[in-house]
């Protein structure tokens, strides 16, 4: 097993010594457990409720088409704001 020498302030070492005694560990065992706990991956937070709604999962999926959407909107606005043609329909 690899060994490491670390320097701790006396007050921190005393706290580690007290905590390890209470838990029935040696100081090295206690410090190894504390380090493992700190390095363990944290559980991810639950996903927000909106992520569970299928149609919301695609929200923003076409964000890269912003310029194209502006162009289409301008065409539609121009088309529907122009006066109707005067051509008559044959019946």
Q: What is the pLDDT of residues 28-75, one digit of tens each?
A: 999 999 999 999 887 777 766 766 777 777 777 777 888 998 999 999
Say what the pLDDT of residue 50 is.
Answer: 67
Computed on alpha carbons and rounded to an integer, the radius of gyration of the chain in Å comes to 34
Rounded Cα–Cα distance for residues 2 and 28 (Å) = 12
Q: Considering only CA atoms, which of 6, 7, 34 is closest in space to residue 20? A: 34
Residues 6+ away with beta carbon under 8 Å from 69: 62
Rounded Cα–Cα distance for residues 19 and 86 (Å) = 91
pTM of structure = 0.45
């Amino acid at each position: 097993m690899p060994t490491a020498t670390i320097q701790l302030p006396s007050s921190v070492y005393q706290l580690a010594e007290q905590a390890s005694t209470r838990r029935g560990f040696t100081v090295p065992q206690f410090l190894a457990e504390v380090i493992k706990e700190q390095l363990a991956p944290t559980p991810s937070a639950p996903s927000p409720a909106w992520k569970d709604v299928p149609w919301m999962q695609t929200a923003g999926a076409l964000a890269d088409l912003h310029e194209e959407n502006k162009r289409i909107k301008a065409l539609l606005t121009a088309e529907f704001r122009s006066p109707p043609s005067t051509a008559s329909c044959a019946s």
